[in-house]
Structure 1
Amino acid sequence: MSVVRRRERKEKLRKGEEQEEVAVALKKSFVEKKGEEGNGREVWVALAVRQGLGIYRLYSTFLEVDNTLTYSVVVPEDGQWGKVLDNGTVTGMIGMVASHRAQLAINEITINDLREDVVDFTFPYYLESTVIVTQAPAARNRAFAVLSPFTLRVWMLVVASTLTVGPALACINRARNRLLKTQVTSVHPLSHLSFNAFRSLLNQSSPRVPGEWPLRMVVYSWSLFCITIYAMYAGTLTAELARPAHEASINSLVDLLRAIHTRGYKMGLVEGTSVEGILKEAESGIYWKLWDTFNTQTDYVNRSRAGVSKVLTGPYAFLIAQLSSEMLTERLGRQRFHMGREHFYPQSYGIACTTGSPLTAVLERM
């Protein structure tokens, strides 16, 4: 559009002779009523600058490209981002653009195949991944820390070995006497042999070692075993007491699935988001396994803020885009939350336009 033509249209717009309007779909929490023009039209502007998306700056740039355009902001009735239902209905902001009730949808709208079937997207203007937000790991109860170096199976084997050594020594001593047909030169009561085996396990020296070599070989072997067990126990216990005493954190989708099955965790999603879509459409793998545990009646939340707040109420994990997670957790107290170290499902955000709209090319040139 030439400078002369633009000035002519600008003058006509000022006089009210010509006006072109573009409706922009935005989530309600991203807009604020600012006032009224002289003709009584409501004027709305985006408040997404705090999100770092530069949407208000985009409006300014768009006005510089063609300042004869005026804008009205419409809000989707269901308040959702937008998804394609099984019956072909399109909800949320994407639905408003697909039905031509709005020509643009601007927000953290993820580009995916299902949405691209009903609207056109500009080139991605922002890329980020998805994270798992959970409550900060709580301090563990250390009342039984002395038992933590070994598993239950190892403890059972140690106890069984200790109880077996004494009777084994007594049987070997009796078999030796019968085989050699000699009189018993020294008495080794079973109680003494068993107690000495227990003393060796506690790294205490025995007051008397049997003089018979078969018994000595067993006692020396048992002592070597006890020294090894004692060293392993002492070293592992020291390391266990030195590390922070917190519960295991959830850092990946595998950790989340394990926590759901073993620790009673629930997984939360915002309905209509691309994260829900990637889990719901999965046919195998970790996405499919997680969706199989999801309760569509109780685990949905209507807003990301509600999902992050719900994390503080109990064993609950919320899947959310990284930028939003950082903003919301900072607002509620970053120290109260834990964000998984492993990110997943990289998302690209774009501006949704009606199919074939010339606005797509205009926006991509900015």
Structure 2
Amino acid sequence: MKEYVLSRYASLHPPQEVDLGVTSFTITLERAEVIDFTFPFYVEPSAILTPAGGTSKKILAFLSPFSFEVWLGVLVSFLVLGPLMLALSRSPSGAFLYPYNTPNASRRVSLLGYYWMLCASLFQQGVTYPMSSSSRVVFGAWIVGVIALTCAYTGVLISFLTVPRAEHVVDGLHSLPTQSDFQWTFRRNSAHHSLFLGKDSDGIYEQIGAPFVDYEDGLVDENAEGIQKVLDQTHVFIKERSFLDFAVEEDFKRTGECHLRIAREEFFPAGFGWIHQKGDDVGKLFNRE
């Protein structure tokens, strides 16, 4: 195809003039304003190359089975149920709903006593306190929740202690501005340069480009420079996914160890095409063929 196009137009243009640029040019709006692209022959997302990360700390393994939201829910439930059980045990309506209560005995249980009861049951210890029937129902619901929580916690904790897990600080583009462990970089005068520092950049793209608006020395000119910054564990490198896959494989073949990792979330699926002079017929011929 290339020989056909070039031979057909070779006689129409003087030497040293190029009709078709044949390589993987990323199609961007800023480039399309000054040059034309053929139809994209390949579409690829971008990703983030990060250090492989270390394994989680064993000393903190007891917190790993549940997320922060689950632990917060347990704490809030614990703090709320103590006063609730105390209020139910001393409520005048309890005698009407549960005529066989012993309110005098129930009143001898303080708020601290109910908290102790909840805490002891959480650690599967038996504690006997006089309670009204209404507070006993609430405490029974707490016990059922504790049993389910304990079974889930024990199983997940064993897996965390048995299989080492890597700590991933960066999982995608949106996690970059919220972390402080790594800086980020990308190639100067690339499609990502236009994406993050272009005149139409906004949202998360604008946030990623903000550190380089007045100071572009943090950008790299070569891919090897970006990969080395990741190996030094000071930066993450933003690049097309296929190139990052190749970089991870090459590093593993060279060292026999896994030093690099690609963040889970991808973004900016970009098209790749060949370039030709704006308004000429070479692109039309190529696209038709």
Once the two structures are superposed, residues 270-318 of structure 1 have per-residue CA deviations (whole angstroms, 9 ceiling, x without a partner) of 0111121122233433322332354643430111121122122225332
Counterpart among 296, 306, 321 of residue 240 in structure 2? 321
What is the one-letter code of the residue matched to 2:29?
D
Q: Is the 8 A contact 1:201 1:223 kept in 2?
A: no
Residue 279 (structure 1) aligns with? 196
What is the one-letter code of the residue matched to 2:271?
S
Q: Is the 8 A contact 1:110 1:274 kept in 2?
A: yes
Residue 3 (structure 1) aligns with? none
Q: Is the 8 A contact 1:165 1:194 kept in 2?
A: no
TM-score, normalised with respect to structure 2: 0.68
Residue 289 (structure 1) aligns with? 207
Deviation at 1:359, TM superposition (A): 6.1
SS of 2:59 mapped into structure 1: coil
Q: Is the 8 A contact 1:166 1:194 kept in 2?
A: no
TM-score, normalised with respect to structure 1: 0.56
Cα pair distance change 1:218/1:64, threshold 3 Å:
closer
Residue 47 (structure 2) aligns with? 131
Deviation at 1:108, TM superposition (A): 2.4
Counterpart among 154, 159, 171 of residue 242 in structure 1? 159
Cα pair distance change 1:109/1:230, threshold 3 Å:
same
Deviation at 1:225, TM superposition (A): 0.9
Residue 139 (structure 2) aligns with? 222
Q: Which has the higher contact order (CA 8 A, sep 6+)?
A: 2
SS of 2:269 mapped into structure 1: strand
Counterpart among 194, 199, 224 of residue 120 in structure 2? 199
Question: Aligned partners of 1:145, 1:318: CA distance in 2, in Å?
Answer: 30
Whichever structure has more helix as a proportion of its residues is 2
Q: Is the 8 A contact 1:130 1:319 kept in 2?
A: yes
What is the one-letter code of the residue matched to 2:33?
D
Identity across matched positions, percent? 18
What is the one-letter code of the residue matched to 1:257?
H
Counterpart among 245, 251, 258 of residue 175 in structure 2? 258
Q: Is the 8 A contact 2:185 2:218 kept in 1?
A: yes
Q: Is the 8 A contact 1:130 1:343 kept in 2?
A: yes
Once the two structures are superposed, residues 185-239 of structure 1 have per-residue CA deviations (whole angstroms, 9 ceiling, x without a partner) of 8995758766545433333333x453xxx63542453243133134224314523
Query: Between Structure 1 and Structure 2, how many residues are aligned?
Result: 264
Cα pair distance change 1:186/1:304, threshold 3 Å:
closer
Once the two structures are superposed, residues 314-338 of structure 1 have per-residue CA deviations (whole angstroms, 9 ceiling, x without a partner) of 2533221233222222222283322
Deviation at 1:341, TM superposition (A): 4.1
SS of 1:346 mapped into structure 2: strand
Residue 260 (structure 2) aligns with? 337
Q: Is the 8 A contact 2:50 2:170 kept in 1?
A: yes
Could you say what the CA RMSD is over the residues aligned between the two structures, in angstroms? 4.4
Q: Is the 8 A contact 1:202 1:230 kept in 2?
A: no
SS of 2:189 mapped into structure 1: coil
SS of 2:271 mapped into structure 1: strand
Residue 79 (structure 1) aligns with? none
Question: Aligned partners of 1:185, 1:257: CA distance in 2, in Å?
Answer: 57
Q: Is the 8 A contact 2:82 2:114 kept in 1?
A: no
What is the one-letter code of the residue matched to 2:229?
K
Gaps of 5+ in 1: 1-56, 70-99, 177-181
